[in-house]
């Protein structure tokens, strides 16, 4: 989670932690979290690289060798993970299917939440002048809407199980 918070800090121009605490940024990220359960990973022709549909994964994501009750977790020493892109690379060909459990975060949604909070601050003027020079900055709600547009639609698979 630390690397996701640091990326969010950079994106909202708060690298010195002057505006938000880590807990506040994590709350914004959690508002745009998606739980992934047994997602079948796609692979290349060599069965070395496995791809998730999702990126921005939390570092506790895990790979499994099947979806059944006898599924075994694959040790993370067997592969190199790229949590930002959702890519898992093995050192040798696997030739089996792998499934992902984890959490994915929509960074654009969290950025939009931060910008909306800043826009609600009455002390933040959009333009001001000093002498003959006028200063202005972006409309924060316009920027928040920009990032909301990049949130994209999320599809959800529902599986009905009978007990």
Q: What is the pLDDT of residue 86?
A: 94
User: pLDDT tens-digit profile of 20-61?
Assistant: 999 999 999 999 999 999 999 999 889 999 999 999 999 999
Helix (H, G, I), strand (E, B) or coil at 81: strand
Q: What angle do CA 12, 13, 18 make, to 5 degrees?
A: 105
Q: pLDDT above 90 covers what percent of the chain?
A: 49
User: pLDDT tens-digit profile of 109-160?
Assistant: 999 999 888 888 766 656 666 667 666 666 778 888 888 787 776 656 666 7
The percent helix, strand, coil of the chain (3-state, each to 5) is: 25, 25, 50
The beta strand positions in 4-132, using DSSP E, are 33-40, 42-43, 49-51, 62-64, 79-82, 87-90, 99-105, 127-130
Q: What is the pLDDT of residue 85?
A: 93
Structure confidence at residue 99 as a pLDDT band (50, 70, 90): very high
pTM recorded for the entire structure: 0.77
d(CA 72, CA 47): 19
């Amino acid at each position: 989670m630390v690397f996701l918070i640091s990326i969010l800090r950079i994106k909202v121009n708060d690298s010195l932690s002057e505006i938000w605490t880590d807990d506040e940024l994590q709350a914004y990220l959690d508002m745009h979290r998606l739980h992934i359960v047994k997602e079948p990973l796609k692979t290349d022709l060599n069965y070395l690289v496995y791809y998730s549909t999702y990126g921005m994964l939390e570092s506790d994501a895990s790979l499994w060798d099947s979806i059944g009750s006898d599924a075994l977790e694959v040790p993370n020493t067997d592969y190199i993970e790229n949590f930002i892109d959702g890519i898992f690379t093995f050192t040798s060909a696997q030739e089996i299917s792998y499934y992902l459990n984890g959490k994915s975060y929509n960074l654009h949604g969290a950025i939009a939440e931060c910008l909306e909070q800043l826009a609600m601050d009455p002390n933040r003027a959009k333009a001001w002048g000093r002498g003959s020079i006028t200063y202005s900055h972006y409309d924060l709600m316009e920027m928040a809407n920009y990032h909301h547009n990049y949130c994209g639609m999320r599809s959800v698979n529902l599986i009905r199980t009978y007990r």
